[in-house]
Chain A
Amino acid sequence: MTGRRWYAPWLFLAPALAVAVTFFLIPFGNTVVLSFTDASTLGGGHFTGLDNYRRLLSDDAFWLSLRNTALYLVVVVPLMVVLPLLVAVLVQRRIAGIGFFRAVFYSPVVASMVVAGLIWSWLLSSDGLVNSLLRAVHLVAEPLPFLTDSRLLLFSAMAMTVWKGLGYYMVVYLAALANVPRSLLEAAEVDGAGPVRRFTSVTVPLLRPTMVLVATLSAIASAKVFAEVYTLSDGSAGPGGEARTLVYTIREAGLGLGGEAGYASAMSLALFLGTLGLSVFVTRLNSREQQA
């Protein structure tokens, strides 16, 4: 279909292109440029070459954030790949009331991260529900410092991430499970395979592409984690900011009082390369496994 006026398509595209260029491409280009300068958030700045990147290598806060973010990823991704799949299998069969269960399991996805954070910080506070339940069954004598110990804070945030993402990936898996041919499962059943065996030998291999997708999505989301840690710690990222993540440190460096836009931009590019690398890595991994 050829338009009669050459500019007609560009009129259709204009608003979307304007937003994409003004609020994504130009800021991205600017991030690259700033990362080679000593610009402050107020303005100014001179070209300083690779100074910001050199400084990154010896910045303890950066390495700490990198370690925390990596730990986040290593713990959360496997949980996100496995738990929602199990829940999806649980809600797949159309038994009575299943629509209700599916909807309720999805509801944490709808809540904002701030709401989730406030709900969880109340649950996990020293006199909150979780600690009193643990004490009621005499698992612990003293309340566990879920929110005031940096390491525990990080794990609490991970638990919240999983809680909030469970329903989303459950729906992704449900869509994929609908494509698993029933005949294959029934054939396996006739051959005497029990439910567990049918799941591991038929369903899981067929779902591999979806599992890779979920791993990629949750890995990128983990690399960018911020709101969980921020809301659970009232903005402090734990005592001394010990539970800081990359995005937390970027925001602190670039936007606080005396923000260093140049240095924060170098850190931002490190995060960008990290997320890009993650998706390339997972895609490679997948294509190699499919060849084998």
Chain B
Amino acid sequence: MKHNYYPPGIRGIDADYVAALAGNPNTGKSTVFNALTGLNQHTGNWPGKTVAQARGYYRHRGKTAIIVDLPGTYSLSANSLEEEVARDFICFAQPDVTVVMADATCLERNLNLVLQILEITPKVVVCLNLMDEAERKGLKLDVDQLAHELGVPVVPTAAHTGRGIAQLKDKIHSVAVGEILPRPKTVTYGTELEEAIRQLETSLQRIYTNGISRRWIALRLLEGDHSVIEAIRQYNLAEGKQEG
């Protein structure tokens, strides 16, 4: 399934790592994407879906990075095609790092998506964009404190002026090649729910889940959302056939 997400055009470039770009709409995601990749872009559709996809690449510290621009979403609950596309990419294509955009001017609302993604993968860099606008509004943001609270690197940027883009590339590089091992502090739920999660996680150890976070699968099962399990089933069947 992984290869499905990398149409042949971009595979031609020998990439050292793949980064996904996620975030709420209107956080300047496209601006960051443009700032990172410049003119090395390719747009098309997601395989089999009527959702637009943009990919691009850049070189940094001697490595080539592919950036996949995920659709802008407010959550990953798979209510819409966009959310499904974003979720499936993070789950099944397993990018080496996921950059989550957050709008510095309304941090609270943007943190929802950040926290949801942290439940799926630890390899996250948060890009706190529109810092200049937040400053103009008189907002003071403690970036170090935020990184501490989330347990992942946070890079403040003002992408339309280019501020912070170099630092963002540095952090993407560090997480992708393993120089930094983020230890996200995920949300803790009530004791009963946590106990149920623990039981499911134990059962999940017996199943090949392609490295998708067991805690996250457990949560979806408890929510009654079976689409993830079905996706895993499809994935395993497809892989099984290939081996046979």
Q: Is A bound to B? A: no
Partner-B contacts on A (CB < 8 A): none
Question: What residues of chain B have their CB less than 8 Å away from a CB belonging to chain A?
Answer: none
